Amino acid sequence: DAGVTQSPTHLIKTRGQQVTLRCSPKSGHDTVSWYQQALGQGPQFIFQYYEEEERQRGNFPDRFSGHQFPNYSSELNVNALLLGDSALYLCASTRLTYGNEQFFGPGTRLTVL
Amino acid sequence: GQQLNQSPQSMFIQEGEDVSMNCTSSSIFNTWLWYKQDPGEGPVLLIALYKAGELTSNGRLTAQFGITRKDSFLNISASIPSDVGIYFCAGRTQGAQKLVFGQGTRLTINP
C-alpha cells in the first residue's frame, strides 16, 4: 500500500519563476492538504482540496494556487517566486468522511535563488 | 492567529533517560496530535488525542490532552537512539481540517 508520494524531491528555481509541485495521496484517501515548512519551523497550512475544490485556506497570498484531479492527486502552483518561498513543501492526505488523521508525504525541497 | 508554543526547543539527553516536552496555546483546540520528523522525511503521526484530560500511550510514548484544551505534553520513557529527531505538536479546532503546528523540539541522544 503506497503512502503519500510527492514529486519532484528537490527543485531549484530563480526569483520570478513559476513552479508546480505534485502529490499523490495514500490509497483510499480523497482529501489533500498542502503545508509549507521553512527551515527550523513547523509546517504551516497553505490550503486543502476535497472533491476538486479548495475547501480551506491558510494565510498565503494568491501566488499560491492548487488543483485536485478526479483521481484525487493534487498540484501546488507558486507564481512569481520570492526568495522567502524557499522551503520544504509537504502534502498530506486523509479520507475526509472517515475522520482520519492526515498522513504526510516526504516533501519537495524548493530552493529559490 | 493561532499559535502553538512548544518547549523545550532542543534537548540533549543520555540514552535510557526519560524525556518530557509540552505544547501550549492561547486558543482552545479539540484535537491534539504529536508527530515525529526525521531528516528528509515528512512528519509521522505518533499519538492523537481527542478528549480533554485524555491520556494515551503508544509503546514508550505517552501523551495527554490538557483539561483546559490549551495544552498537551508528550513523554518518552527509556530513550533509545532511534528516538532522535524533531517532535512536533499540532492542534486542530472543531470542524476544521487545518493543523496548527508548534515550532518543534529537537531531541539528541548521547549513547
Q: Which residue has the cell 523545550?
A: B8
Taking only the tens place, the pLDDT of each residue in A26-51 is 999 999 999 999 999 999 999 999 99
Q: Is the pLDDT of residue A99 over 80?
A: no
Rounded to an integer, what distance in angstroms lies between the CA atom of residue B31 and that of residue B93?
A: 7
Check CB contact under 8 Å for B42 and A107. Answer: yes
Instruction: Give pLDDT, residue A72.
Output: 96
Confidence of residue A1 (pLDDT cuts 50, 70, 90): low
In degrees, rounded to 5, the angle at the alpha carbon of residue B33 between the alpha carbons of residues B98 and B96 is 25
pLDDT of residue B2: 65
> Is the CB of B43 less than 8 angstroms away from the CB of A43?
yes
Contact assignment for A43 to B103 by CB distance below 8 Å:
no
Query: What is the predicted pLDDT for the residue at B56?
Result: 96
Which of A59, A102, A107 lies closest to B1 in CB terms? A59
Q: What is the model's pLDDT at position A96? A: 82
Grid cell 502553538 is found at B4
A5 touches chain B (CB under 8 A): no
- Per-residue pLDDT of B10-62, as tens digits, reads 999 999 999 999 999 999 999 999 999 998 899 999 999 999 999 999 999 99
Number of inter-chain CB pairs under 8 A, A vs B = 56
Q: Phi/psi of residue B53, each to 5°?
A: 90, -10
Does A42 contact B at CB distance below 8 Å? yes
Q: In this predicted structure, what is the pLDDT of residue B3?
A: 78
Give the separation between CA A17 and CA B87, rounded to whole angstroms.
33
Q: Taking 80 as the threshold, does the pLDDT of residue A109 lie above it?
A: yes
- pLDDT of the residue at B1: 57
What span, in angstroms and rounded, lies between the C-alpha atoms of A45 and A5? 18
Query: Does residue B90 surpass a pLDDT of 60?
Result: yes
The reported pLDDT for the residue numbered B79 is 96
Give the Å distances, CA to CA, from A6 to A70, A96, B76: 17, 20, 31
User: What is the reported pLDDT for A78?
Assistant: 98
